[in-house]
Structure 1
Amino acid sequence: MAVVDDHDLFVRGLELLLPEVSGGRATVVATTKDAAYAASVVRHAVPDVVLVDLHMPPPGGIRAIRSVRQAAPRSRVLAMSGDDDPGIAIEALRGGATGFLPKSSDPASLLQPLLAALDGWAVMPDSLLAVVFEQDRRQASHPATEALSERERELLRWISAGASTVEMAGRMHVSERTVKRMTATLLRKLRVSSRAEAAALAGSAGLL
């Protein structure tokens, strides 16, 4: 297992507890505190499972998941977060995570789900699973949203939050001109004529 997390005590706890609980079957073979190096670490270690903390300094956990999936497509990626908001968990699943674990200060609480993931199971809390099912149901009634890329979904969420073009350019690390071009393309895909209509559609489709 590889761990992408900037909390030293948590990572050390996993390193000590995982071999003991699994009878030596599972160990932490690589770690990194920097999400930017996640892909490189995983490419060299080739772990069966990669555990990624979503709340990390830029480029952040979501981008780390995407880069890990590209670098090691056979590795299963589990996202974790201490945040109760299901939105970031769903974003991680869309980014390529195969499961999600609520994070606590005690790494022992994650051991059984981690062992299940090593056996090939997809793990996530019942509450999150219910949200995922509900969003799938809503999106089925709005087929235009199904064709959106992850980048377009991110843009739509910023639009819905009322962000300006300048703010979105900074958040998405692109130019203002690129944001304007992406927004025009997004509105055409959604078959709406304004940002307000796009935000309303996002809300009814459960994308927020």
Structure 2
Amino acid sequence: MRITVAVGDDHPVVRAGLVHLLMASQVVDVVAEVDDGARLLDAIRATRPQVALSDFRMPGLDGAALALAVAEEKLPTRVIVLSAYAEPAIVFRCLENGAAGFLSKDADRDTLIAAIRTVAAGADVLPPELVGDVLDQIRQRRTAPAAVTLSPREREILVAAAAGRSAPEIARAMHLSTSTVKTYLRRLYEKLGVGSRGAAIAEAMRLGLLR
């Protein structure tokens, strides 16, 4: 029996190549292919695939936020995040949010298919070369302060970002420069230990900083 998979990547050529590779394997049935993280979540809800392959950097929801949403909704799909940027903090955040695996976009077909088989069978996947770095992240998180304190301005910008406003829109509303808003956003990412807006919003919700 083939493994059902949903694919999310906002680059059409990359997505088409990935779908072609999976279908040609004779192992996978691609039941959905989308260009947006929010649409990928909708597709997972509708089709209930065994595995979802999600690009980390996507509009709507990034890979970490998608994994968190799937876990919180207790959907049966297991998420593998694909990224060209295998930064330890990103990998750790994805796994912490419930992803079953993380792979570099440089992975070859055999590695990708093997990962899908492994995850569909209930195990997790992490490239061996990333294990040490992720363990370092775990140790750092254990020694880091648990509480996250935001200034009133940081909280205001976080709320605006969660409402979907762009940096220029936030800047105009708050009478700040766009570069100042981007600086605040970078500080928020650092405080929350994430690498993107979607992950920051997901982590802020988890910590009770957003309601």
Interval containing the TM-score (normalised by the shorter chain): 0.5 to 0.7
Matches of residues 150-165 of structure 1 in structure 2 within 5 Å?
164-165=154-155
Partner of 2:21: 17
Is the partner of 1:10 in helix, strand or coil? helix
Partner of 2:158: 168
* Counterpart contact for 1:53–1:61, Cα < 8 Å: yes
Partner of 1:130: 132
1:29-108 paired onto structure 2 within 5 Å: 29-71=31-73, 73-104=75-106
TM-score, normalised to structure 1, is 0.63
Cα separation, 1, equivalents of 2:44 and 2:155? 35
Contact map agreement 1:46 1:72 (CA 8 A) in 2: no
Instruction: For 1:89 and 1:135, locate their aligned partners in 2 and report how far apart those are by CA, in whole Å.
Output: 9
Structure 1 unmatched runs, 5+: 175-198
Instruction: Tell me, in whole angstroms, the C-alpha distance in 2 between the residues paired with 1:60 and 1:136.
Output: 21
User: Deviation of residue 19 (structure 1)?
Assistant: 3.6
Alpha-carbon offset, residue 128 of structure 1: 2.5
Aligned residues: 166
Mapped partners of 1:165, 1:6: distance in 2? 29
**CA distance in 2: counterparts of 1:59 and 1:25, whole angstroms:** 28
Question: 1:104 & 1:50 partners in 2: Cα distance?
Answer: 18
Change (3 A) 1:139 1:86: closer
Structure 2 counterpart of 1:136, one-letter code: I
Give the whole-Å Cα distance in 2 for the aligned partners of 1:96 and 1:106: 24
Q: Give the secondary-structure state (helix, strand or coil) at the position aligned to 1:110.
A: helix
| Contact 2:50–2:77 under 8 Å retained in 1 | yes
* In structure 2, C-alpha distance between the alignment counterparts of 1:141 and 1:64, rounded to whole Å: 27
Offset, 1:114: 2.6
More deviation, 122-131/46-55: 122-131
Q: Deviations over 1:75-104 (max 9, x none)?
A: 111111111322222221122211101113
Deviations 1:102-125 (A, max 9, x none): 113976763332333233331112
CA change 1:111–1:61 in 2 (3 A) is same
Q: Distance in 2 between matches of 1:128 and 1:58?
A: 27
Q: 1:50 to 1:12 in 2, by over 3 A?
A: same
Q: Percent of aligned pairs with the same residue?
A: 27
Structure 2 regions of 5+ residues with no counterpart? 165-186, 195-211
Deviation of the 1:71 alpha carbon: 4.3
What do residues 121-142 of structure 1 show as CA deviations (whole Å, max 9, x unaligned)? 3111223221222232344445
